[in-house]
Amino acid sequence: MSGHILALSGGVGGAKLAAGLCAVLPPERLTIAVNTGDDFEHLGLTICPDLDSVTYALAGLNDTTRGWGVADETWQAMEMIGRLGGPDWFNLGDRDLGLHLTRAMHLRDAKSLSEVTAMLTGNLGIAHKVVPMSDDPVRTQVQTDAGWLDFQHYFVREQCRPEVRGVRFDGAESAALAPGLAQALARPDLAAVVLCPSNPWLSVDPMLALPGMRENIAAPGVPVIAVSPLVGGTALKGPLAKLMAELGQPVSNLAIAQHYEGLLDHLVIDETDAADAADLRDTGLCVTVTQTVMRDAQDRERLAGEVLAFVGGVE
Ligand code: FO1
């Protein structure tokens, strides 16, 4: 295969496949566009959790046990914030704060989120292109019995406890695609769009909600390949299974495929869900059954290679 690959990623699970794609593709053949619906303003800073998870994973700085933030982190600033009566429900480690402060400084200097992301990833030695989905603010909110909650209030402060009745992406309708994402979509050599194993409703949908995004991706000629975030009929981590049930969806690969209906050509599912393959193929999808759990660099590279095999392999 030759040509360019566009990967759409959320946080932790998506970041792992993004790291695998970086290992098998040279920088000029890959753009990683990242969800910014989880972003929020906190302690006077703009926090971009999914961009940061991807950045830390590609720089080899990520904490693999916690799943977010930096490895070997210390928490002195957080402890002081708590003592001072500041908001300490969202944990920002000392090293992580270094990134947020640097980003805030550049954003205050009227640099775009794309420009700042390029600077931060470059300075951490990442050669591949990591771009936010948009430079305009888009904020994911979930509808609960207590009203609409900002995403991080739902996810971290409330620990995903409230039942979710709906999801919206505030600002998406008027947000422009970030230049790096628009350029990747417009490339005549775009060979495939990869939907990383991120939460379809919370992490991929904010990107699909941007004007032009669905139409561009659904255009004929460029295959769309998703890696299912379900393993053994449930989510490895995070609120996906609970959320699907609350939104009235069966927790199944078929529901994931139906959610991406009209976009998807190929679904990669875990070997523990092999029994789902026949029903998925009956809907007209190509299906790959493999190990989608990524425990180490070898797993990430192997899965990235299998995803790209659908479009003719890495070479
Ligand atoms: N997730 C948590 O569950 N608790 C936290 O305190 C927390 C802090 C945090 C700080 C920086 C960052 O980049 C991510 C952080 N996350 C935390 C993860 C984040 O809330 C979610 O993983 C994503 O938004 C979902 O993809």
Q: Is 56 a domain residue?
A: yes
Best mutation site among 58, 90, 95 for ligand 1, i.e. most ligand atoms within 8 A of its Cβ?
90
Does the structure show a pLDDT above 60 at 258?
Answer: yes
How confident is the model over 210-219, as a mean pLDDT?
93
Q: Give the residue, by CA position, lying nearest to ligand 1 atom 16.
A: 68
Is the CB of 270 inside a 6 Å radius of any atom of ligand 1? no
What is the structure's pLDDT at 220?
Answer: 80
How confident is the model over 9-32, as a mean pLDDT?
96
313 pLDDT band, cuts 50/70/90, is: low
What is the structure's pLDDT at 311?
Answer: 78
Q: Is 173 a domain residue?
A: yes
DSSP string, 45-70: EEE-HHHHHHHHHHHT-B-TTTSSSB
pTM above 0.95, yes or no: yes
Range name among 75-84, 184-193, 216-225 with the lowest pLDDT average: 216-225
Range name among 48-57, 104-113, 116-125, 305-314 with the lowest pLDDT average: 305-314
User: In angstroms, rounded to a whole number, what is the distance separating the alpha carbons of residues 142 and 163?
Assistant: 9
Q: Is 315 a domain residue?
A: no
Q: Based on the structure, what is the number of domains in the chain?
A: 1
Q: At what angle do helices 12-24 and 297-309 cross, to 10 degrees?
A: 70
Q: Is 305 a domain residue?
A: yes
Q: Is 106 a domain residue?
A: yes
Is the CB of 14 inside a 6 Å radius of any atom of ligand 1? no
**Block residue for tokens 């990524």:** 294
Is the CB of 135 inside a 6 Å radius of any atom of ligand 1? no
CATH number of the domain where residue 38 is located = 3.40.50.10680
Atom nearest to 56 CA in ligand 1: 13
Domain with 293, as residue range(s), is 4-309
Q: Which string of b and e fits 15-38 if b means at least 16 CB within 10 Å?
A: bbbbbbbbbbbeeebbbbbbbbbb
Does the structure show a pLDDT above 90 at 181?
Answer: yes
| Helical (H) or strand (E) element with 267 | strand 266-270
Q: Is 76 a domain residue?
A: yes
What is the structure's pLDDT at 314?
Answer: 54
User: In angstroms, rounded to a whole number, what is the distance separating the alpha carbons of residues 269 and 218?
Assistant: 21
Q: At what angle do helices 113-123 and 179-186 cross, to 10 degrees?
A: 90
> How remote is the CA of residue 35 from the centroid of ligand 1, in Å?
13
Tens-digit pLDDT profile for residues 78-127? 999 999 999 999 999 999 999 999 999 999 999 999 999 999 999 999 99
How confident is the model over 11-24, as a mean pLDDT?
96
Atom nearest to 198 CA in ligand 1: 26
Best mutation site among 47, 91, 201 for ligand 1, i.e. most ligand atoms within 8 A of its Cβ?
91
Tens-digit pLDDT profile for residues 128-142? 999 999 999 999 999
Token code pair at residue 91: 């944990």
How confident is the model over 155-163, as a mean pLDDT?
97
Token code pair at residue 221: 């000629």
Is the CB of 50 inside a 6 Å radius of any atom of ligand 1? yes
| Helical (H) or strand (E) element with 194 | strand 190-195
User: In angstroms, rounded to a whole number, what is the distance separating the alpha carbons of residues 294 and 286?
Assistant: 22
Q: Is 157 a domain residue?
A: yes
- Contact call for residues 76 and 93 (beta carbons, < 8 A): no
234-243 LR contacts (CB < 8 Å, sep 24+): 235/199, 236/13, 236/293, 237/12, 237/13, 237/67, 238/12, 238/13, 238/160, 238/199, 239/155, 239/160, 239/199, 239/202, 240/199, 240/201, 240/202, 242/160, 243/160, 243/164, 243/199, 243/201, 243/202
Q: Is 96 a domain residue?
A: yes
Average confidence score pLDDT of the chain: 96
248 pLDDT band, cuts 50/70/90, is: very high
Tens-digit pLDDT profile for residues 266-277? 999 999 999 999
Does the structure show a pLDDT above 60 at 302?
Answer: yes
What is the structure's pLDDT at 221?
Answer: 86
What is the structure's pLDDT at 1?
Answer: 61
Is the CB of 201 inside a 6 Å radius of any atom of ligand 1? no
Q: How many residues does the chain have?
A: 315
Is residue 74 classed exposed, middle or buried when 0-12, 13-18 and 19+ CB atoms within 10 A define those classes? exposed
